[in-house]
Amino acid sequence: MRIINLFFSLSLACMCIVSASAERFHFDRSGPVQRCVAGAAVLGGMGYLIHSLCANKQTNNANSAAAKPFFVLPSKCKTSVEFVVRNLLSMSCALRDGYKRVGVKERIKACLGGSVAGLGLAYLWWARRNCISYNPQVRFIPKDDGGESKDLSLYLHGWGESGDGVQSIAKELPGTVVQFDFPDAQCAGSSPEQRVNLVTQSSFGQLPDVLVAIKTLNDTIKTKNPNRVFLHGYSRGAAAATGMRRVLAEVVGNQHTAQSQSWMNDLDRLGVTRDDCRSMLERIMKGGCVLECPLSSAKTKIERDFRGPLSPLVQACLVLLSRYSPWGLHADAADAQLGDVPTLVFFEKNDRVVGNSAANQNLINLLRRNAADVALAEGQDPSGHCHERDQVCRQMHEFFHARGRQQ
């Protein structure tokens, strides 16, 4: 029982530590292998540390602190926080008392255990230092106008599909169309293994997806040099497009905040400078943005679909199984800055996946606070989320034509 309590308490403590350090150690951008290696190292190192320090080989006193179980499962515990705090306090007491009792040999073992735990966290940080560790398969669909167009459309695809999802509307988008794959796109398929990997490799429109989109757009601008950039995001891709606008706007406008500096550090590692961010944002503001059946954010959807205690439980499962992070980038955060970009938001009334316009008022209000020109349209396709795209193309043409931005 003592071993069980020890392991359970260490697991909770390490989860708290990793959760608090999620952004610093890029836990939300690591894959299952990195998490298992780091988790095993942290748990094993901490366990060895505790075992070494609490081994009482210098006294046979039955009343000594070592003879008392220092991890006690409370019979009545109001909250899990209380349970974790009590065990952390008892752990610190055990370390303090144990370190005084043990000899040099045990202290060396304890230092080795602590070193293994530190190496586990260091490996987790190192493994995801380069945030893009796959080939996004960037490809282009040129505009059939003899090469005269100086516009660029970046298509951000939905979850469970690839960049090829743009094929049905590519001719309707302004300028040259840029399509690429998010990390989970290469896992899309019908086999059980592919369906599992579709979750493990996804961040559901959070920072890992946003960084890929920004890197792709930056590289394309340097080769194509377009005058205007149009973003078209579908479902999860719409969440990534909104997150992309947030990162660019806050990196350019709020240079001295800790959050902005953290994002800038990530972009620096990808070869994207602050001037590059300013250039991208200016071109997007000259162009526009279409959010087709947008996912506000994964966190908002989970809290809306799962009430009460189910919401944190589902989020905890996603933290362990995917690249999702409750503490990560949420494009629909109340204080988000998105830049003054003309935006068309298209919903389907019967959408049971991300909800209709009534279910996403927070996102709509956020967009209207940031941009002077936001248009809202809602389709009536009975298929809902997987709708025919004729209506969204018609709404897009009307939106950009009325503003003189449609070639």
pLDDT tens digits, 199-244: 778 889 999 899 999 999 999 999 999 999 999 999 999 999 999 9
Look at 357 and 404; give whichever has higher pLDDT: 357
| CA distance to 14, 44, 66, 369, 389, per residue, from 7 (Å) | 10, 10, 17, 49, 53
8 A C-beta contact, residue 168 and residue 234: no
- The reported pTM is 0.70
Q: What confidence tens digit (pLDDT) does each residue in 56-67 have?
A: 444 434 444 443
Q: In the structure, what pLDDT confidence band is assigned to residue 285 with cuts at 50, 70 and 90?
A: very high
Nearest to 51 by CA among 117, 132, 107: 107
With a CB cutoff of 8 Å and minimum separation 6, the contacts of 148 are none
Nearest to 179 by CA among 162, 197, 200, 198: 162
pLDDT at 75: 45
pLDDT at 378: 92
pLDDT at 72: 42
Nearest to 245 by CA among 290, 203, 201, 202: 290
Q: Which domains does the chain have, with CATH numbers?
A: 2-127 (no CATH), 139-402 (3.40.50.1820)
In whole numbers, what is the pLDDT of the chain averaged over residues? Answer: 76
- Pairing state between β 139-141 and 176-179: antiparallel
d(CA 224, CA 247): 23
Is the pLDDT at 126 greater than 70? The verdict is no
Q: In the structure, what pLDDT confidence band is assigned to residue 279 with cuts at 50, 70 and 90?
A: very high
pLDDT at 78: 43
Q: What confidence tens digit (pLDDT) does each residue in 76-110 have?
A: 444 444 555 555 555 555 555 555 565 666 666 66
pLDDT at 258: 86
| Mean pLDDT calculated for residue range 343-348 | 95
Q: In the structure, what pLDDT confidence band is assigned to residue 22 with cuts at 50, 70 and 90?
A: very low
User: 40-49, 211-220, 267-276, 372-381: which has the minimum mean pLDDT?
Assistant: 40-49
| Mean pLDDT calculated for residue range 291-299 | 92
d(CA 242, CA 233): 9
pLDDT at 134: 73
Within 150-303, strands assigned E span 151-156, 176-179, 228-234, 288-292
| CA distance to 13, 264, 305, 319, per residue, from 312 (Å) | 17, 30, 12, 10
pLDDT at 166: 93
Q: ∠320-19-6 over CA atoms, to 5°?
A: 80
pLDDT at 65: 42
Q: In the structure, what pLDDT confidence band is assigned to residue 115 with cuts at 50, 70 and 90?
A: low
The residue assigned the tokens 């530590």 is 17
| Strand, coil or helix: 401 | helix
CA 370 to chain CA mean position, Å: 22
Is the pLDDT at 184 greater than 90? The verdict is no
Q: In the structure, what pLDDT confidence band is assigned to residue 153 with cuts at 50, 70 and 90?
A: very high
Indicate the angle between helix axes 236-253 and 361-370, nearest 10 degrees: 30
With a CB cutoff of 8 Å and minimum separation 6, the contacts of 41 are 116, 117, 119, 120, 121, 123
Q: In the structure, what pLDDT confidence band is assigned to residue 311 with cuts at 50, 70 and 90?
A: confident
